[in-house]
Amino acid sequence: MIYFLAVLVVSMVVTYALTPAVRIVALRLGIYTPIRDRDVHQAIKPRWGGVAMFLGMVVGLAAASTIPYLGGIFADLTPVRGVFAAMLVILVVGMADDAWDIPWMVKLGGQVFAAVTLVLHGIQLEVMPVGWLGVGGPLVQAMLTVFVVVLTINAFNFIDGLDGLAAGVAALGGAAFFIYSYLLTLSINAFDASNLVTLLMAVLVGSCLGFLPHNFYPSKIIMGDTGAMLLGLVMAAGALAVTADVGQLAEGFRFRNIPAYMPILLPLAVTLLPLLDLALAVARRTARGASPFSPDRGHLHHKLVDGGYSHPQAVLLLYFWSALFAFGAVSFNFVDWWLVALGMVLSLGAALVLTLGPWLRRRALRVNRAAASRALRHRLKN
């Protein structure tokens, strides 16, 4: 694991070091987000933070290629090239959108192109881990892959609304996915932990950790669509690539401590918060006859801020929810299920109390005021 952690640190340091330079370039070129009614921030924020994250990931991948222990990942460069090419596509589309607010159809076309690029390089949904069933033929696999990639990209893009939110959620989810992939790889080959999925999660977590000091409230720069879509792409690529590992595992099922459904459960748990926000946004916008991609101020993070939480409090609460689901799912791999279930129930209860706290306090205040008002009227009548 030390080699993956070294790559993580490289990505983190590079991202952290390059972000101020990217910020200066964005400001000089006028690439910043205006102050809009739907936004929480009240100051101009330069975009393109995702450029620094992209460079951090790429340098991390390059550093990994020089480590002999990780040589198995680069024995066949096709998947690595596919991920890099898809990242380049998202980088160009994201930078253009951050600079000129391109039409949503153009942005969607770029996301589909990035997904197709992964498919053409062999990264696609191959096996459903429940029952170890193959996923149709090549056309069905390709279509499902494109759907998963576009869905995940937009889920992370939708959740990027508060300083540090998307980067923190991705870092927590990526860390959980990193642990799972590392353990899964060791179960297949105890002497070789080199795996593309683990490497992707390492560079993703590293870039997020390097970007967060510049992006947490009050942020100096935001990642923009460039960074949010990049995080979604890399997370989706990892979730898809792990199905190939599941296929190997099915041939000789040795990882007995992992439930058979974990390869489906973990990606869903990692992306649950972004996917939930995406689903609610699409339903909300469609109900009022607007485009699912039209912006508004109805996201989960908006609700928390409008409900009474401060900006950083809302972000930390959403971190808690993300960590709860992601690491709760991973815990099923090495802790008795009933202990995990008990911990999840208690943690969910605490999370619900914290989330509903402002509304419950306001409701209690209204009830108390109404009771006091009734008591006062009663005394006046008497």
- pLDDT digit string, tens, across residues 55-85: 999 999 999 999 999 999 999 999 999 999 9
Token pair 């992601």: residue:
326
pLDDT of residue 253: 44
Q: How far is CA 2 from CA 70, 334, 359, in A?
A: 11, 21, 45
User: How far, in Å, CA of 58 to CA of 64, rounded?
Assistant: 10
Give yes or no for a cis peptide into 129 (omega within 30° of 0). no
Is 225 known as a binding-site position?
yes
pLDDT of residue 38: 54
pLDDT of residue 88: 98
pTM for this entry? 0.85
Q: Is 190 exposed, middle or buried (0-12, 13-18, 19+ CB in 10 A)?
A: exposed
List of the chain residues with pLDDT < 70: 34-42, 127-136, 244-275, 277-278, 285, 290-302, 305-308, 359, 361-362, 364, 378, 380-382
Q: Which H or E run contains 45?
A: strand 45-46
**Closest CA relative to residue 113, chosen from 131, 94, 138, 137:** 94
Q: What are phi and psi of 46, to 5 degrees?
A: -65, 140
pLDDT of residue 140: 85
List of residues 6+ apart from 25 with CB closer than 8 A: 31, 48
**Closest CA relative to residue 47, chosen from 205, 174, 160, 168:** 160
**Closest CA relative to residue 124, chosen from 132, 113, 115:** 115
The token pair at 221 is 């720069």
Q: Helix, strand or coil for residue 128?
A: strand
Q: Which H or E run contains 119?
A: helix 104-120
pLDDT of residue 61: 97
User: How far, in Å, CA of 337 to CA of 157, rounded?
Assistant: 33
Is 157 known as a binding-site position?
yes
Q: 57, 209 in Cβ contact below 8 A?
A: no
pLDDT of residue 248: 55
pLDDT of residue 36: 58
Q: What are phi and psi of 260, to 5 degrees?
A: -65, -25
Q: What are phi and psi of 127, to 5 degrees?
A: -135, 135
User: How far, in Å, CA of 283 to CA of 229, rounded?
Assistant: 21
User: How far, in Å, CA of 291 to CA of 104, rounded?
Assistant: 10
User: How far, in Å, CA of 215 to CA of 8, rounded?
Assistant: 19
pLDDT of residue 220: 93
